[in-house]
Chains A and B, each alone.
Chain A
Amino acid sequence: MASVGQELLDVPLPDMVTKLALGIAEAQAALDENSVETALTLADTTIEVVPALTQTIAAGGAISFEAAAPVEMSLLQVGLNPTFYQFVESSIEVTMDIKTTTSRETNIKVGFKAKVGFAMWSSSVRVDVQHNRKFQKEVRGTSRLFVKMAPVPPPPRIFPEVTVIDQRPPAPPPAPDNP
């Protein structure tokens, strides 16, 4: 029967670590792919933005509005960015509960038999010896994988640099109050 130390050595820790690492790599690739797909959709989805609205109050008090030509902006330009996640920490916790019991049992049965008759006799001795040795082993194992993800800044070259040149005339200063 393998010893407890051997049982612990038999835990396939390298396999578990390898599988965890491969799982993280696959999950990371899927997350990145999803974020890139989201970035493409955000770049393709446009909304119409009216950059300026002019309100004119005529001498007679009539109010009119004039809207500037709408500008198409992508959601990426508006400031909606896909979130990129990264696995920052991972750990494996293996718990083993090993219980071994050994029991021995010996049964001896002795039987004696004798017969006498007509000047003859016979006897026999019968001995039954029974040895039982029982080994019992219970191994319970649980493993727990723990991974921690954190959002990270997107790759710097994935988004275009947006420069806004505002050529609107500055708003006139408010008229002073006349007493």
Chain B
Amino acid sequence: MPMEGRSLFFVVGRDGPPDNAVNSVGGTIVARLGEPRQALAVAPLAAHSQLRLHPRLRQAGPITINPQKFGQFAQMLGLDTEQDP
């Protein structure tokens, strides 16, 4: 069934980094999360089931960024304040 749009996915590789599996469905790794097997990827929404059932991935699920919580996190790290040169 055709689906439109792209989504942010949280992917966990089974035995190694999930790069090849994500690339095979037309996605791209955009960030690593701690260990190399865990990453954030942007991929077509239609690839959801392919990613979920991919033999080289232990897990894949669409995620969103909660702006309120991420804002609090950025504030805690001081990332939201402008630094004078």
User: Which size bracket describes the interface of B in this complex?
Assistant: 20 to 34
Q: A17 at interface (Cβ–Cβ under 8 A)?
A: no
Instruction: Return the contact of A78 from the options B61, B73, B78 (Cβ within 8 A).
Output: B73
Assembly CA distance A125 to B40 (angstroms): 94
Q: A151 at interface (Cβ–Cβ under 8 A)?
A: yes
Q: B20 at interface (Cβ–Cβ under 8 A)?
A: no
- Whether the Cβ atoms of A79 and B12 lie closer than 8 Å is no
Min C-beta distance of A168 to chain B, whole Å: 9
Per-position 1/0 for A141-166, Cβ under 8 A of B: 00001010101000000000010101
Q: A100 at interface (Cβ–Cβ under 8 A)?
A: no
A–B complex contacts, Cβ < 8 Å, 28 sampled: A34-B52, A35-B61, A35-B62, A37-B61, A38-B59, A38-B61, A38-B63, A45-B33, A46-B34, A49-B73, A49-B76, A52-B78, A73-B73, A75-B10, A79-B65, A79-B66, A79-B69, A79-B73, A80-B65, A80-B66, A80-B70, A81-B64, A81-B65, A82-B63, A83-B61, A85-B62, A145-B1, A147-B1
Which chain B residue lies CB-closest to A46?
B34
Contacts of A81 in B (CB 8 A): 63-66, 69
Min C-beta distance of B18 to chain A, whole Å: 13
How many residue-residue contacts, CB under 8 A, span A and B?
A: 83
A: number of interface residues (CB 8 Å):
31
Assembly CA distance A38 to B64 (angstroms): 11
Contacts of B33 in A (CB 8 A): 45, 47, 75
Q: A77 at interface (Cβ–Cβ under 8 A)?
A: yes
Q: Known contacts A34-B52, A47-B33; is A151 also within 8 Å of B64 by CB?
A: yes
Per-position 1/0 for B33-73, Cβ under 8 A of A: 11000101000000000001000000101111111111111
Contacts of A75 in B (CB 8 A): 10, 33
Assembly CA distance A45 to B63 (angstroms): 14
Which chain B residue lies CB-closest to A71?
B76
Which chain B residue lies CB-closest to A77?
B69
Min C-beta distance of A80 to chain B, whole Å: 5
Per-position 1/0 for A8-37, Cβ under 8 A of B: 000000000000000000000000001101
Assembly CA distance A164 to B67 (angstroms): 15
Min C-beta distance of B38 to chain A, whole Å: 6
